[in-house]
């Protein structure tokens, strides 16, 4: 008998098998999709669907929300506050497409509005064991709740709308084991940047990552969502964490979570969702939590990340294949080889995005800013309207505004800038978002990806700063 | 979807790794309708300087590549955002094939949905192809999905493979929705069984 093949007995395999309607080939299957999320960018898929004269097969298995184009200022005026006719048109179009299809929709002034990958878990729409899709690469976020969740393009959004299923090629499996305890001032964002820095921006291409180990089990739901969110930045098809009591405690009582007897039955099923002890993965990577420092990206892809106490790499000492990439990144970023990252002057700070805008992120930033002043322009965009309210009930908004940090409304904002929240050319940001690509935050803009605590520290000092120094100061 | 069988066309070498979809089409163009201008958004900020002038240094701006339909690039082509517009701008600029050592998974899938052939060749073969193209600017090469080969006139042949299911769909230009809906009885049977086990999903 041959040994079981890689992928056997994994959490991913279990969810995949549960959703196979039909095998299309050895590694190809028609999968049932439990839930699809839509945002303003879905207009291309709706247009194609309607042009083909098709309808939405299961409208109750979709949820639409305005996030990519909503302004973060002037939101009290709702849709009327948007002056750009193209932006207003896209937000209106999502609403009219959702109404046409009979899909539940959270528009710009809905209490449920927020970034799609924040509100899915927050509303209890995202459940363990689901296959979840969305026309957005950061759909990997939802895997933190024990789902198989992945991004796709407009053609496949159209297919899911029309059929509620999708032909998929089965990815390989990669287990990332994070054992030990994270140090003070080190969080989920540092974990995922350390991983991508280690395996590279294409290090997990073709794979689905399962995050395991004692430090993952100890991590909050918010932290797991951050880690899974950036799985795509390592090239992974999806990231996932086996559901446990952290997951169930987070989900219990949320608006779309199962209720009463259904809750008990669902939890009983979800408890069976984990990789077996003898599960075989195609690849394994491990990280020691205690070795991870606060991280910062220095280049133009998320794999170009280093601990804050490191120096900018020298292309002269890099291998020839990496050399030109490093040289190009340093030229774009305006950095010199060997330069210290700690102390590098920054122009602006952005705290937000589907990566780092949840309540725990805002608390971490506020803990650094409390009683201090920002020396450079900074703003916070909470991940959802509900998180904004929750933060305000805790007084976090006052911590930010008293520090001179703007407190704005919820949306994708300066992560992608489609709503107009952008840096000017040459400006340098410390940003809690997920992509430091050239031009991502504005043409010629220079992005350093950091955690919320590190972003707050940069606001206080006006430079990239090891937040651990400020935390030590706060304790003294 | 447009079928892809074989293509002989001018190929442009792009010796860059990690060409992400923000580079292929900057986010500010995503709100635009797919009209006759769409192709002009391809590599917009690499092709143009801040004043909107064409940069001489970018290969796609060279006259010998004006008719190019194939790109030979570095690893991890199309990584990043899931925007299918990255494929649309390529198609609307006349491109039908990208050859690279690896691709972003979502881009790879989007390309296949639109009849753009993504060809994976080893790093060394991509480098050899780019070197040949740089020595023969404006030359044509052939990408043949039937025989799964890339060939240089009078020279090297490079074998590639696409999984059989996707190859067949691309060769025939098959519409996946039509294919899926032909399975409707199996889908409905699956859903009935699946939801009976998960009554909490009823909405």
Interval A288-300: pLDDT, tens: 999 999 999 999 9
Segment A415-434, tens digit of pLDDT: 999 999 999 999 999 999 99
Distance set, CA B13 to CA A220, B25, B77, B139 (Å)? 46, 19, 13, 11
Measure in Å the smallest separation between the Cα of B121 and chain A Cα atoms: 15
Q: What is the dihedral of CA A79, A80, A86, A90, to 10 degrees?
A: 20
Average pLDDT (A370-384) is: 98
Integer CA distances (angstroms), A137 to A112, A239, B69, B120, in order: 22, 12, 27, 22
Is the same domain home to A118 and A56? yes
| Contact by Cβ (8 Å): A307, A293 | yes
A223 sits in which H/E element: helix A221-229
Q: CA of B184: which chain A residue's CA is closest?
A: A163
Residues A273 and A301 reside in one and the same domain:
no
Output the CA angle A72-A74-A79, nearest 5 degrees.
90
d(Cα A96, Cα A103) in Å, to the nearest integer?
Answer: 10
CA separation for the pair A349, A341 (Å, rounded)? 16
Do residues B62 and B68 make contact, with C-beta atoms less than 8 angstroms apart? no
Whether residue A424 is found in the same domain as residue A344 = yes
Residues, chain A, total? 476
Query: Which residues, given as ranges, of chain B have pLDDT below 50?
Result: none
Residue B20 to residue A437, Cβ atoms within 8 A: yes
A1 within some domain: no
Query: Is residue A149 located within the same domain as residue A210?
Result: no
| Mean pLDDT computed over A312-335 | 93
Residues of B in contact with A426 (CB under 8 A): none
CATH code, domain with A18: 3.30.499.10
Domain B6-173 has CATH 3.40.50.720: no
CA B165, CA B140: separation in Å to the nearest integer?
Answer: 28
Strand partners, A166: A31
Determine the Cα–Cα distance for residues B177 and A165; give it in Å rounded to an integer: 9
Contact state of B27 with A418 under an 8 Å Cβ cutoff: yes
Specify the number of domains making up chain A. 3
Mean pLDDT of chain A: 96
The distance of B9 to chain A (nearest Cα, Å) reads 26
Min Cα separation B131/chain A (Å) = 15
Phi-psi region at B103: left, alpha or beta (left = phi > 0; alpha = psi -120 to 50)? beta
Nearest to A392 by CA among A378, A404, A380, A377: A380
Q: Per-residue pLDDT tens for A453-474? A: 999 999 999 999 999 999 986 5
Q: Is B193 on the interface with A (CB under 8 A)?
A: no
| Residue A3 maps to a domain | no
Q: For chain A, what percent of residues have pLDDT higher than 70?
A: 98
Query: Does residue A253 lie in a domain region?
Result: no
User: Does the distance separating the beta carbons of B22 and A440 come in below 8 Å?
Assistant: yes
Task: Among B81, B88, B112, B182, pick the best mutation site for testing chain A contact (most A Cβ within 10 A).
Answer: B81
- Is A191 in the same domain as A154? no
Q: Is residue A446 part of a domain?
A: yes
Which of B50, B79, B176 lies closest to A201 in CB terms?
A: B79
Show which of residues 141-160 on chain B sit within 8 Å of chain A, judged by CB atoms.
none
ipTM above 0.90, yes or no: yes
The pLDDT of residue A4: 57
A88 and A218, same domain (yes or no): no
Distance from CA of A396 to the nearest CA of B (A): 32
Euclidean distance between CA atoms A224 and A316, whole angstroms: 37
Q: How far is Cα A305 from Cα A199, in angstroms, rounded to an integer?
A: 11
Task: Give the CA distances from residue A308 to residues A340, A365, A438, A466, in Å, rounded to whole numbers and listed in that order.
Answer: 8, 17, 21, 6
Packed helices B85-92 and B105-114: angle between N→C axes, nearest 10 degrees = 50
- Picking from A48, A44, A46, A17, the residue whose alpha carbon sits closest to that of residue A30 is A17
Same domain, A210 and A343: no
- Per-residue model confidence (pLDDT) at position A476: 38
Whether the Cβ atoms of residue B23 and residue A438 lie closer than 8 Å to each other: yes
pLDDT tens profile A336-347:
999 999 999 999
**Is there a single domain that holds both residue A345 and residue A286?**
no
CB contact B29 to A (< 8 Å): no
CA B39 to chain A, closest CA, distance in angstroms equals 16
Contact A235 B28 (CB under 8 A): no
Residue A1 has pLDDT above 60, yes or no: no
Residue A3, pLDDT score:
52
Strand, helix or coil for residue B181:
helix
Identify whether residues A222 and A311 lie together within a single domain.
Answer: no
Question: Rounded distance, CA B21 to CA A435, Å?
Answer: 12
DSSP 8-state code for residue A284: E
Interface size between A and B, measured as CB pairs under 8 A: 165
Do A190 and A144 belong together in one domain? Answer: no
Residues A49 and A72 both lie in one domain = yes
Closest CB from B26, B76, B110 relative to A201: B76
Residue A217 lies in a domain: yes
Kindly determine whether residue A151 and residue B82, on different chains, have CB atoms separated by under 8 Å.
Answer: yes
Return the CA Rg of chain A. 22
The DSSP 8-state label assigned to residue A190 in this structure reads: H
Sign of CA pseudo-dihedral B47, B50, B55, B61:
positive
**A269 with B198: Cβ contact below 8 A:** yes
CA gap A66, A41 in Å, rounded? 9
Alpha-carbon gap: B178 to the closest alpha carbon of chain A (Å): 10
pLDDT per residue over A144-159, tens digit each?
999 999 999 999 999 9
Q: What is the CATH number of the domain that holds A266?
A: 3.40.1060.10
* Cβ count near A320 (within 10 Å): 7
Mutate to test the interface with A, among B105, B167, B169 (most CBs of A within 10 A): B105
Nearest CA in chain A to B111: A153
Distance CA A230, CA A196 (A): 9
- Give the DSSP per-residue string, A114-167: B-HHHHHHHTT---TT-EEEESSGGGGGGGGGT-EEEE--HHHHHHHHHHSEEE
Sign of CA dihedral A124, A128, A130, A136: positive
Inspect the interface and report whether the beta carbons of B81 and A27 lie closer than 8 Å: no
The model's pLDDT over A214-273, given as tens digits with 9 standing for 90+, comes to 999 999 999 999 999 999 999 999 999 999 999 999 999 999 999 999 999 999 999 999
Instruction: Give the CA distances from residue A71 to residues A116, A417, B83, in Å, rounded to whole numbers and listed in that order.
Output: 15, 10, 21
A320 vs A72, A192, A276, CA distance in Å?
44, 27, 42
For residues B145 and A83, the model is more confident at: B145
Interface mutation vs chain B, best among A45, A437, A445, A447, most B CBs within 10 Å: A437
Task: For residue A181, give the 3-state DSSP assignment.
Answer: coil
| CA closest to B164 among chain A residues | A25
Q: Are residues A322 and A455 in the same domain?
A: yes
Residue range of the domain that includes A97? 11-168
Distance, in angstroms, between B187 CA and closest chain A CA?
6
**For residue A475, pLDDT beyond 70:** no
R_g of chain B computed on alpha carbons = 19
B82 contacts chain A (CB < 8 A) = yes
**How far apart are alpha carbons A211 and A340 in whole angstroms?**
32
């Amino acid at each position: 008998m041959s040994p079981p093949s890689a992928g056997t007995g994994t959490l991913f395999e279990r969810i995949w098998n549960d959703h196979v309607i039909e095998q299309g080939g050895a590694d190809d299957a028609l999968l049932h999709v439990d839930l699809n999320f839509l945002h303003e960018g879905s207009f291309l898929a709706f247009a194609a669907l309607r042009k083909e004269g098709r309808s939405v097969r299961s409208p109750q298995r979709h949820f639409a929300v305005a996030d990519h184009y909503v302004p973060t200022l002037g939101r009290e005026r709702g849709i009327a506050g948007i002056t750009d006719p193209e932006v207003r048109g896209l937000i209106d179009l999502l609403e009219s497409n959702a109404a046409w299809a009979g899909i539940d929709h959270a528009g710009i002034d809905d209490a449920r509005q927020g970034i799609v990958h924040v509100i899915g878990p927050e509303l209890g729409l995202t459940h363990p064991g689901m296959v979840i899709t969305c026309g957005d690469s950061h759909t990997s976020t939802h895997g933190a709740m024990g789902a198989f969740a992945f991004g796709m393009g407009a053609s496949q959004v159209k297919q899911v709308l029309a059929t509620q299923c999708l032909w998929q090629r089965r990815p390989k499996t990669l287990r990332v084991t994070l054992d030990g305890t994270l140090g003070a001032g080190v969080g989920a964002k540092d974990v995922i940047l350390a991983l991508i820095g280690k395996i590279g921006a294409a290090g997990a291409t073709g794979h689905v990552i399962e995050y395991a180990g004692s430090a993952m089990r100890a991590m909050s739901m918010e932290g797991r969502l951050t880690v899974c969110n950036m799985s795509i930045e390592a090239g992974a098809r999806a990231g996932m964490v086996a559901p446990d009591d952290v997951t169930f405690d987070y989900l219990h009582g949320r608006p779309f979570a199962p209720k009463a007897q259904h809750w008990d039955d669902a939890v009983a099923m979800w408890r069976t969702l984990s990789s077996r002890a003898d599960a075989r993965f195609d690849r394994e990577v491990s990280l020691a939590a205690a070795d991870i420092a606060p991280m910062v990206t220095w280049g133009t892809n998320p794999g170009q990340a280093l601990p804050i106490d490191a120096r900018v790499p020298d292309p002269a000492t890099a291998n020839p294949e990496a050399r030109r990439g490093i040289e190009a990144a340093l030229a774009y970023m305006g950095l010199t080889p060997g330069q210290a990252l700690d102390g590098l002057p920054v122009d602006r700070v952005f705290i937000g995005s589907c990566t780092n805008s949840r309540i725990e992120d805002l608390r971490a930033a506020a803990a650094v800013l409390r009683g201090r002043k920002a020396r450079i322009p900074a703003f916070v965009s909470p991940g959802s309207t509900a998180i904004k309210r929750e933060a305000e009930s805790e007084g976090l908004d006052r911590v930010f505004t008293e520090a001179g940090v703007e407190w704005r409304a919820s949306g994708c904002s300066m992560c992608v800038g489609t709503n107009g929240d952008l840096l000017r050319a040459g400006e340098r940001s410390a940003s809690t978002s997920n992509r430091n690509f050239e031009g991502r935050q504005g043409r010629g803009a220079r992005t350093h990806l950091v955690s919320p605590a590190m972003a707050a520290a940069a606001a206080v000092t006006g430079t990239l700063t090891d937040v651990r120094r400020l935390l030590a100061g706060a304790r003294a | 979807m447009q079928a892809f069988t074989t293509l002989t066309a001018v190929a442009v070498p792009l010796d860059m790794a990690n060409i992400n979809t923000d580079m292929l089409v900057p986010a500010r163009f995503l709100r635009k309708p797919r009209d006759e201008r769409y192709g002009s958004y391809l590599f917009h900020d690499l092709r143009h300087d801040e004043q909107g002038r064409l940069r001489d240094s970018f290969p796609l701006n060279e006259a010998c590549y004006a008719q190019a339909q194939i790109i030979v690039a570095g690893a991890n082509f199309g990584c990043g955002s899931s925007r299918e517009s990255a494929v649309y701008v390529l198609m609307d600029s006349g491109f039908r094939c990208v050859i690279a050592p690896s691709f972003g998974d979502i881009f790879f899938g989007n390309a296949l949905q639109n009849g753009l052939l993504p060809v994976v060749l080893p790093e060394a073969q991509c480098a050899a192809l780019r070197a040949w193209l740089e020595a023969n600017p404006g030359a044509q090469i052939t990408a043949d999905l039937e025989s799964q080969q890339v060939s240089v006139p009078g020279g090297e042949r490079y074998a590639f493979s696409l999984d059989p299911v996707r190859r067949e769909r691309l060769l025939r230009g098959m519409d996946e929705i039509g294919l899926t809906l032909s399975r409707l009885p199996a889908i409905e049977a699956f859903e009935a069984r699946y939801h009976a086990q998960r009554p909490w999903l009823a909405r």
